[in-house]
Chain A
Amino acid sequence: MPEALIHVQPDFANWTCPLPLADYPTIVMGHGGGGKLGNELVEHLFLPAFRNAALAHLGDAAVLELAAGRIAMSTDSFVVQPLFFPGGNIGALAVNGTVNDLAVSGATPKFLSASFILEEGFPIAQLAAIVEAMAAAARAAGVQIVTGDTKVVERGHGDGCYINTAGVGAMRSGIQIGPQCAEPGDAILVSGTLGDHGMAIMSVREGLEFESQIRSDCAALNGLIANVLDAAGPSVHAMRDPTRGGLASTLNEIAQASGVGIVLQEKSLPVRTEVQSACELLGFDPVYVANEGKAVFFVAPEAASRVLEVLRAHPLGRDAARIGYVTADHKGILVARTAMGANRVIPIQIGEQLPRIC
């Protein structure tokens, strides 16, 4: 690809895509065919949005510089419906999801790939909005999208737009973090309110309207996590972003991986009133509802207040809370202390939560 083409519209702020894609206001099979139409997508949509040196070469692979040391790699596919929802869209989700998976592994996210599977007939304007959101999310997270691919499937064989992202990051040194590293006595902290993403999706998908709109918490957590690790890295034993399956699944997984018990103080769980109300209505428990911009930290008890302070000082951690602790009792099992003072087990859910009858 001639270098000059990349700079057709070098200023993303003034980028006026989808010209000249306007000839085809919707995706046609040819956009995935490797011919002129596909090139147009790359030149006029992906390159101006994601532009960076590695991508500009448009080679079969991006060639990257990373400092010596261990790297982390992760991949995730995104099939969310609806594609656009309050607080985000599939594009922002695809970038932030992979960034967060790297960050909670103790890595500094650096580079992402982005692959699109588009359905014939998908509006280019929507694709442009998704791509723009990915570019904005990548900028906010300080990562580059350095390689990608587009395939088009026939109408009826896809759901508009699927995105896969993979990412690599440089592992931080001086930390020992993993789901198997939680220790009895550890304090458990969560960076903010629970269930926002899942209930935002649910409310749009099902046309449920509540008094105030529930917004997804979709966000990149690498900045927040870097602050925590800078302040108390060696004291952090485990981190996770509680996405699908919610907090309950994440904590159960860590309890089992580390061979420890976990006690949750139900009263301490931060849940927005509108999310709690929506959950009540549908018979859901917020601990099982997905988050896309929250992290859970297992930290040595003496570092807990410091970490909480650091979390609350960050815009994404204002509602952070200490929600429980690790115990040597009831290994592999998550127990909640109810507001009544009783105990109940919170198991992993079998499938999705199902809206109840009455």
Chain B
Amino acid sequence: MQKVVMPTRKVAVALSLLAAALGLAACGSSGGSAKHLTLVAYSTPQSAYETLIPAFQATGEGKGVSFSQSYGPSGEQSRAVANGLHADVVNFSLQPDVEKLVKAGLVSPSWNQNATHGFVTNSVAVIIVRKGNPKHITGWSDLIKPGVQVLTPNPFTSGSARWNVMAAYGAQLKEGKTPAQAQAYLEALFHNVVSQDSSARNALQTFLAGRGDALIDYEDEAISDQKKGSPIEYVIPKATILIQNPIAVVGTSNASAQKFVNYLLSPAGQRIWASKGYRPVIAGVAAPGQFPTPAKLFTIEALGGWKAVTKQFFEPETGIVTKIEQSLGVSTAK
């Protein structure tokens, strides 16, 4: 009978490796000196910050400030900060992602009591089509025509994708339809949805790989992608939602944080945002005609605000969109 072999040298090696790993733990995160800023943001503005941060560092207020940056899906980033990821400035895709941090006591409840109501950039929901617009898509009503294949990120795995759904729904209301008719539109729309990727970027990837005729996306993404040479065009529907991205300072200990946010909201900063395809939140920055204003632009407030909308449309069991997805599944599974 062979007894279990447990050589002690192996054990010693294991112990020293564990100690090494724990030694790294003791280093923890370097606390922020006032001249160091940690920015936690959603994925999209990464390339914009590549220009904005050096521009800020060239100003008097930003001189000598070093940055740590983290980019990822808005919801995940918000959750991470709530779970202990150190951040000085947060820039997310949706207001609820900042509200989460207010609830966690990390952001002041008065974060959006400023001139721009807490928002740093705007955009609008658009419909991306293939170059030349072969299917002649001009607005929301074309998306429910038979044979038209629509792409949209999954509104349940991508919070930002909810902008798309609410844009479509709200547009119907703005065009004079009743809520019941608007709901019927959503049902018809989802009937034509052939792929629900987990993020806007993935949806774009899918679209570029040849799938679908139309992709519901945000204007700034469409502009970026066009700049990179992708064979796409985009249509701004007559009625669409104003996408507003919030920014907030986390905590009160970092003096540079507010200065950075102020810069991003200043004309100089907003001009850089505009050059990257984001609609400015202050007047007089964009070139005339650079960002055409849709005739029937509305905000999420017109639909009741995110809190009410999330409950009404995206609640896991009772939400309108949840039910639509379920009914489509049941009807096609038969």
Q: Do A and B come from one complex?
A: no
> A residues touching B (Cβ–Cβ < 8 Å)?
none
